[in-house]
Structure 1
Amino acid sequence: MTTQHNKKLSTELPFDEVLELVQPMITSILLKCQIYKDFEYYRHIASIAVWNAWRKADQTKGLFSAYIYTTVKGEILKELSKEKSFENMNTPMDHETINYIRDHDISERNPALLEWFMSHLKLEERKIVLLFYVEGYSYLEIAKELGVSVEAVKKRRTRIMIKLRELLNSKEE
């Protein structure tokens, strides 16, 4: 009986053996792509990519191992790109913010409190609040509107939420 180390990677091998043989390759790709969280999710993406490479491979067109490598790395990079794009385009409100606003009744039911809060904000801060919470703009859309980076918008939104909490806490005292 031969060991895995002596087996040559080939499309002739059953898929489960191919997948087992390429596990070190997958780990290497994940580390090179700097994936340190959601490791199992990306390992699953890689396994699907190995399956697709195994099904579509043509040994006459080059090394099977190189084809697997490029297929896996391509799928991982594509998924990372999708994730980054999703983060930039969609900005779900965190539960803490939703709960805080709900608990302090900043809504249509209490426009005076909202007006009071907005009067304590600078013009750009008001614009961010309106674009983000009223218009539903994403970080990327707000960044384009203001001519700043996405990171700058995220930091400013965080500062606005801190300011909101401080204002509401001082109002309650």
Structure 2
Amino acid sequence: MEDFDRLAEQYRPLILSVLRNLNIYQNREDFFQIGLIHLWQAYLNYKPEKGNFSAYAYITVRRGIVRELKKWKRKEGIEHDVDENYWNSVKEEPKAADMAFIKDAVCRLPESEREFVIRHFIWGYSLREIAEMENSAYATVKLKKKRALEKLRKALTDK
């Protein structure tokens, strides 16, 4: 057991890295524990002749966390579909003046960011789909989203 405690401390950054890469910020401690459970499974099932432990641990931990994340998202999705309180609390459609202001802010963006906003927020394409359309890296599209949102936030708060 003492061996695993040392191993858990050594691979703590790996688990945190997986959580960060999967953008897990809610229930982070729960998912960290799930990562430890899968690290334990990797520790028990590791066969040295199959390759190095670090790669095996990473794959096992990531796969386990992704599996649990999918279960959690499915559960959350069902709860949100059943709960219609949000829709009952929405009182009215956005006013035409607000929509015109938002449209003006989007039109002032550089062309590539404006295209991104339209594809992602209006047409509903995912970041990966947009990256494929533009034949660019996912990280590039993610950065474009960040910059576009910063500019829109600034334009809309300066209202």
Amino acid at match of 2:38: I
Gaps of 5+ in 1: 1-18, 87-104
Q: Determine if contact 1:132/1:138 at 8 Å carries over to the other structure.
A: yes
Are 2:4 and 2:40, in contact at CA under 8 Å, matched by a contact in 1? no
Q: Is the 8 A contact 1:139 1:153 kept in 2?
A: yes
* Equivalent residue in structure 1 for 2:61, among 47, 52, 76: 76
Q: Is the 8 A contact 1:131 1:137 kept in 2?
A: yes
Residue 166 (str. 1) matches residue 154 (str. 2): yes
TM-score (norm 2): 0.53
| 1:43 matches 2:36 | yes
* Aligned 1:52-67 pairs, distance under 5 A: 53=45
1:111 is displaced (CA, Å) by: 3.3
Pair 129,48 (structure 1): closer, same or farther in 2 beyond 3 Å = same
Query: d(CA) in 2 for partners of 1:106 and 1:152?
Result: 34
Higher gyration radius (CA)? 1
Identity %: 17
| TM-score, normalization by structure 1 | 0.49
- Given that 2:105 and 2:155 are in contact with CA atoms closer than 8 Å, whether structure 1 keeps it comes out as yes
- Shift of the 137–107 alpha-carbon distance from structure 1 to 2, 3 Å rule, reads farther
| Alignment correspondent of 1:120 | 108
Cα deviation, residue 127, structure 1: 1.2
Equivalent position of 1:8 in the other structure: none
More helix by share: 2
In the alignment, does 2:13 pair up with 1:28?
A: no
The 1:45/1:120 distance shift into structure 2, 3 A limit, reads same
The 3 A distance-change label for structure 1 pair 148 and 73 is: closer
Separation (CA, whole Å) in 1 of partners of 2:43 and 2:61: 11
**Cα distance in 2 for residues equivalent to 1:123 and 1:73:** 40
1:147 to partner: Cα distance: 2.1
